Amino acid sequence: MNTYLDETDLIDIWRIQHGDSQQFTYHTKSYGQHLFTRLDFFIISFGLSAFVNKTEIKPSILTDHSMITIEMNLTDQIRGKGFWKLNCSLLQDIDYINLIKHEIDQTIQRNLELDAALLWDMIN
């Protein structure tokens, strides 16, 4: 995972802000032992890190995952139009349609072990 983050200029902003602090986002009791680990992350592009004021891991009730929060200051940022619009001409482009179909098939083949609902979310 660290190699991927380095290659894509992404960072774990919680780790950057909290250094070697040991807080965990998942806990369970298994075989009489308590297991604590940090499964949940805020992965952001390095370019956004200057806008992050605070990240926290907070305890949650009735779940084995803790809540993670991020506070960002984006008030000084110039905003664009604020919405995304589909380029409908792509729906007529046979090469593009075939590329998307191929990518969906490849994603399914690489993730056969996933739950069907999670796989559906991934390709949508």
Q: What does the alpha-carbon distance between residue 101 and residue 84 come to, in Å, rounded to a whole number?
A: 22
Q: What does the alpha-carbon distance between residue 71 and residue 56 come to, in Å, rounded to a whole number?
A: 9
- Residue 55's pLDDT band, with cuts at 50, 70 and 90, is confident
Quick check: pTM over 0.85?
Answer: no
The per-residue pLDDT for range 65-79, each reduced to its tens digit, is 778 788 988 887 777
Domain ranges of the chain: 1-73, 83-124
Query: Widest CA span of the chain, in angstroms?
Result: 59
Residue with tokens 């664009």: 80
Contact in structure between 30 and 67 (CB atoms under 8 Å): no
Contact in structure between 48 and 61 (CB atoms under 8 Å): no
